[in-house]
Amino acid sequence: MTAPLCRWNARLAGVLLLLLTGCAGTPALSPGAAQTLPASAHVGGVPFHGQRDYQCGPASLAMVLNASGVPVGIDELIPQLFLPGRQGSVQPEMLAAARRHGRIAYPLPGGFDGLLGELAAGHPVVVLQNLSLPAWPLWHYAVVTGYDRERQLLIHHSGEQARQAIAMGRFDATWARSGRWAMVALPPGTLPATLSPAQAAESIAAFEQVAGAEAALPAWQALTARWPGHAQGWFALGNAHHGGGDNDAAIAAFRQATRQDPQLAAAWLNLGLLQAALGRPRDAAAALTRAVALEGPFQARARQALAALPSE
């Protein structure tokens, strides 16, 4: 979705929101979330920045970045996010700007389960709403900072008001029009509470492409600590260690990746190539032989590397 955003005065949009969503129903949680989530949660320390016309994206991102320890202001974010021709910011720019400021942007696919789960974990959540009808969209970013399940209320920084209370059903009627798009921006080493390992790994990898292996290393370490059976996480951790110059740690991570998934040819290949580079032909041959035995895009490279090893 790349529609224009924040196209109306926040006060007027709030009036329209009331008219359009007064009868919305209460969104349902999954049985697991309903049982495990606390009755209420509030994320403290989230500053408020008033959202000037067309600049709700920079303001919302500044709030969550500030809350995570990044001292960035709206004026600094505007040229990174604001698209004059579109009169607003779009989601890819929001994610990319968070990465440029040293935070990993994690899109949340879980609807209300994910939203409330992250709030319960202490993570403020940026959300995208359409405050009008689908055919006449008024796109708007806000930052949700808390909830009360008994009263069916959300607390959010939105428009020109801090800590607004809004009925969950009213909020969801506008949030659903964006596909319930949401994101958190967290320091490397802090993981979202509600994502799968594959979803988290995708966001960490995107951050690593921008910030480099050393910056992403704490995130991969956190991922493998939480999900020690995730082979791809160990593989990525090995690459990050190697990028940071710690070859022994890289070898240990690649080996762990192959233990978790013996069919992960890329891990066998990288393990073999690194062992060869360190002058350990016997260990390299053992790993490369395993890679050669696995069909796929890494087989030819493994065969070539194995043939290039010095004979003992």
Task: Determine what percent of the chain is predicted with pLDDT higher than 70.
Answer: 88
Closest C-alpha to 145, from 184, 196, 90, 198:
184
**Average pLDDT of span 299-307:** 98
**Average pLDDT of span 9-26:** 47
**Average pLDDT of span 94-102:** 97
Whether 149 has a pLDDT exceeding 90, the answer reads: yes
Whether 67 has a pLDDT exceeding 60, the answer reads: yes
93 & 135 share domain: yes
Which of 11-20, 83-92, 284-293 is predicted most confidently?
A: 284-293
Domain housing 262? 197-308
115 & 146 share domain: yes
pLDDT the model gives residue 311: 78
pTM of the entire predicted model: 0.90
For 80, phi then psi, to 5°, come to -85, -20
Could you tell me if residue 275 is inside a domain? yes
Confidence of residue 132 (pLDDT cuts 50, 70, 90): confident
- Positive or negative torsion for Cα 288, 289, 292, 294: negative
Which of 163, 186, 209 delimits the end of a domain?
186
Which of 132, 156, 186 delimits the end of a domain?
186
Q: Which of 76-85, 205-214, 265-274 comes out lowest in average pLDDT?
A: 76-85
- Which amino acid is located at 199 in the chain? Q
- The CATH number that applies at residue 292 is 1.25.40.10
3-state secondary structure the chain: CCCCECCCCHHHHHHHHHHHHCCCCCCCCCHHHHHHCCCEEECCCCCCCCCCCCCHHHHHHHHHHHHCCCCCCHHHHHHHHCEHHHCECCHHHHHHHHHHCCCEEEECCCHHHHHHHHHHCCCCEEEEEECCECCECCEEEEEEEEEECCCCEEEEEECCEEEEEEEHHHHHHHHHHHCCCEEEEECCCCCCCCCCHHHHHHHHHHHHHHHCHHHHHHHHHHHHHHCCCCHHHHHHHHHHHHHCCCHHHHHHHHHHHHHHCCCCHHHHHHHHHHHHHCCCHHHHHHHHHHHHCCCCCCHHHHHHHHHCCCCC
Task: Determine what percent of the chain is predicted with pLDDT higher than 90.
Answer: 80
pLDDT the model gives residue 6: 54
End-to-end Cα spacing for the chain:
58
Could you tell me if residue 33 is inside a domain? no
pLDDT the model gives residue 88: 57
Could you tell me if residue 282 is inside a domain? yes
Rounded to whole angstroms, how far apart are CA atoms 247 and 235? Answer: 13
Domain count, the chain: 2
Could you tell me if residue 192 is inside a domain? no
51 & 180 share domain: yes
137 & 83 share domain: yes
Confidence of residue 247 (pLDDT cuts 50, 70, 90): very high
CA 296 to chain centre: 30
Confidence of residue 19 (pLDDT cuts 50, 70, 90): very low
